[in-house]
Chains A and B, each alone.
Chain A
Amino acid sequence: MKKIITTIILILPFVFSISAQVKKKAAAVKAAPSSVNALASITRGKAVYTQSCIACHQADGGGVQGLNPPLSKTEYVLGDKNRLINIVLKGLNKDVEIDGEVYSNPMPPLSHLTDQQVADVLTYVRNNFQNKASAITAAQVKGVRAQK
Chain B
Amino acid sequence: MKKAFITSALLILAGMLGSFRFEKGSGVKNEPINAGLKLPAGFEANAIAENTGKPRHIVVTKEGDIYVKLQRLVNGKGILFLKDENKDGKFEVQSAFGNYPGTGITIKNGYLYASSDQEVFRYKLNDKEEVIDPLNPEKIITGLKAGRQHQTKSIVLDNDGNIYVNIGAYSNACQEQDRGLRSKGIPGCPLLDSAGGIWQFKADKQNQSYPEGIRYARGIRNVMGLDWNQQNNCLYVMQHGRDNLNSSWPEIYDTKQSAELPSEVMYRIKKGDNAGWPFIYYDHIQKKKIIAPEYGGDGKKEGSKEYIDPIVGFPAHMAPNGLLFYTGNMFPERYKNGAFVAFHGSWNRSPEKQAGYFVVFVPFKNGQASANWEVFADGFSGLEAVMVPKEAQHRPCGLAQGPDGSLYVTDDVKGTIYRIAYNKK
Contact = CB atoms under 8 A, between A and B. Distances in A.
A51 interface: yes
Contact of B388 (A60, A67, A94, A106): A60
B180 interface: yes
Interface residues on A, range: 35 or more
Interface stretch (A8-16, A27-35, A139-147): A8-16
Which among B5, B71, B151 has the highest number of chain A CB atoms within 10 Å? B5
Contacts of A64: 347, 389-390
Given A52-B247, A108-B177, A108-B179, A59 B5 contact: no
A60 B183 CA distance: 27
Contacts of A4: 1-2, 5
Contacts of B5: 4, 7-8, 11
B243 A55 contact: yes
B285 interface: no
Interface residues on B, range: 20 to 34
Contacts of B389: 58, 62, 64-65
A12 to B, nearest CB: 11
A106 B178 contact: yes
Interface string A63-106: 11111101000000000000000000001011100000000111
A14 B10 CA distance: 13
B148 to A, nearest CB: 4
B17 interface: no
A125 B243 CA distance: 23
Which among A7, A10, A52, A63 has the highest number of chain B CB atoms within 10 Å? A7
Secondary structure dominating the interface of B: loop
A4 B243 CA distance: 67
A115 to B, nearest CB: 17
A60 B391 CA distance: 10
A132 B110 CA distance: 58
A59 B8 CA distance: 44
B388 A59 contact: yes
A63 B347 CA distance: 9
Given A104-B149, A106-B148, A50 B388 contact: no
A109 B348 CA distance: 18
Contacts of B387: 59-60
A112 interface: yes
Nearest to B259: A55
A51 B71 CA distance: 32
Interface string B389-410: 1110000000000000000000
A93 B179 CA distance: 11
A143 to B, nearest CB: 23
B423 interface: no
B181 A108 contact: yes
Contacts of A112: 181
Given A63-B390, A105-B148, A11 B247 contact: no
A7 B390 contact: no
B350 interface: yes
A108 B175 CA distance: 11
B388 A95 contact: no
A56 B246 CA distance: 12
A58 B347 contact: yes
A10 B389 CA distance: 45
Interface string B370-388: 0000000000000000011
A32 to B, nearest CB: 24
Contacts of B413: 65
A57 B284 CA distance: 27
A10 B347 CA distance: 50
B6 interface: yes
A3 interface: yes
A58 B9 contact: no
A4 to B, nearest CB: 5
A110 B250 CA distance: 14
A39 interface: no
A37 to B, nearest CB: 27
Nearest to A53: B247
B154 interface: no
B351 interface: yes
A26 interface: no
Contact of A59 (B1, B179, B348, B351): B351
Contacts of B250: 51
A100 to B, nearest CB: 10
Contacts of A60: 387-388, 390
A67 B389 CA distance: 11
B179 A106 contact: yes
A66 to B, nearest CB: 8
The 10 closest A-B CB pairs, nearest first, are: A108-B180, A62-B390, A104-B148, A7-B5, A64-B347, A58-B388, A108-B179, A54-B350, A60-B388, A55-B247
5 contacts: A4-B2, A11-B9, A56-B348, A65-B389, A109-B180
Interface of B: 1-2, 5-6, 8-9, 12, 71, 148-149, 151, 177-181, 183, 243-244, 246-247, 250, 258, 347-348, 350-351, 387-391, 413
